[in-house]
Amino acid sequence: MISFWLGVLALSIFLYVTLDGFDLGVGMLLPLARNERERRAMLAAVAPVWDGNETWLVVNGTVLFGAFPLVYATLLSALYLPLFAMLAALILRGVSFEYRDKSVRFRSLWDRAFFAGSAVASFIQGAAVGALVEGLPIVDGRYVGGAFGWLSPFALLCGAGLCLGYMLMGAGWLAYKTGFEVQRRAFHLLPRLLAGVLIFLIAAFVTAVRLDVPALQAWSGNPMLRLVPAIGGIAAVGIAVAVAFRRPLLPFLGSVLLFAAAFGTLAISFYPYMIPYAITAAQAAAPASSQDFLFWGAGIVVLPVTLAYTLAVYFLFKGRVSQSDLYGERPASDRAGA
């Protein structure tokens, strides 16, 4: 049963990172829009899916709390302040998304809030991953690092890198979902964002070597693990080729594959640890009876329903944003009758 819940956790984390990642990226790209019409097109590209994407963050917390309570408690102890700031940023982002349509005088303020919420949430997620890779100060299964024990230059570097990665996915999504000027600008940004992501990955690897991060030991002992970043290299080449030939969907799929390679790299490097290199999955797992009980609720009801809902939403709202879809813009007939 431990393997089942590890698989569920891995799937839910990957789905959250990729699905909420691209709409966080669109939020960080919003200031690059040249006028209100372009901003509405960008928001319309994520309007049907952005709140549903965040459902997977709730699934992550539920699985950790129910199946791996020790990891849940330890991560909250170590990352309480940044996680609190991330949740506040996500709330600000959701409020600003809805309020900007109702406000005329303060619309620019809500646009800045939407950008800030997206950027802060993305940065904190990356910084948390960087802190885990570098290693949290844990003694006998207890966090001993204080309120800012997670904070380091490497964590900050990873925070900036994830922002670039999310913006890459966001630009890929805009290239697929929008047309005209927004799509052209997305294709223009994609090579620059891809170059930024690759530079970050190189910088992160060099820094990890200099810090002698324990995760690197897994790579030296198993050369086959190098196949995973090789997939990431193929994805990067695919993105560049797709941009050159103006293929709308392929840059987004390539960025998802790039994230999958990065996620696989971390997962393989950490296994069997859930908090490297202090707490294993077996040590963190809840009693078998609790896992069995959770399986009949979350395992065979909540997870399939959430997956079905996600697939249905993306199927129903497939295709490009049209004139009538522009977020916050009423049809001409409604404006004439107003």
Judged by DSSP in three states, 331 sits in coil
Q: What is the pLDDT of residues 318-336, one digit of tens each?
A: 888 876 556 555 544 444 3
User: Residue 107: pLDDT above 60?
Assistant: yes
Q: What are the residue ranges spanned by the domains of the chain?
A: 2-290+303-337
In contact, 185 and 41? CB cutoff 8 Å: no
Continuous segment of H or E residues that includes residue 275? strand 273-275
The single-letter code of the amino acid at 211 is: L
Residue 280, beta-bridge partner list: 273
Selection from 329, 242, 331 nearest residue 39 by Cα: 329
Burial class for 29, CB neighbours closer than 10 Å (0-12, 13-18, 19+): buried
Whole-structure pTM over 0.85, yes or no?
A: yes
Peptide bond into 272 cis (omega under 30): yes
What count of other Cβ atoms lies within 10 Å of the Cβ of residue 166?
33
pLDDT at 101: 81
| Mean pLDDT value of segment 10-32 | 95
Q: Comparing C-alpha atoms, which of 306, 331, 338 is closest to residue 57? A: 306
User: What mean pLDDT is predicted for residues 118-133?
Assistant: 95
Do 143 and 81 touch, CB atoms closer than 8 A?
A: no
Residue 274's SS3 state is strand
What local confidence, expressed as pLDDT, does residue 104 receive?
A: 80
Residues 6+ apart with CB under 8 A from 252: 22, 169, 172, 173, 175, 176
pLDDT tens column, 141-197: 888 888 899 999 999 999 999 999 999 999 999 999 998 899 999 999 999 999 999
Residue range 40-87, pLDDT digits in tens: 999 999 999 988 899 999 999 999 999 999 999 999 999 999 999 999
- Whether omega before 277 lies within 30 degrees of 0, making that bond cis, reads yes
C-alpha distance from residue 61 to each of 17, 127, 139, 182, 280 (Å): 14, 18, 24, 35, 18
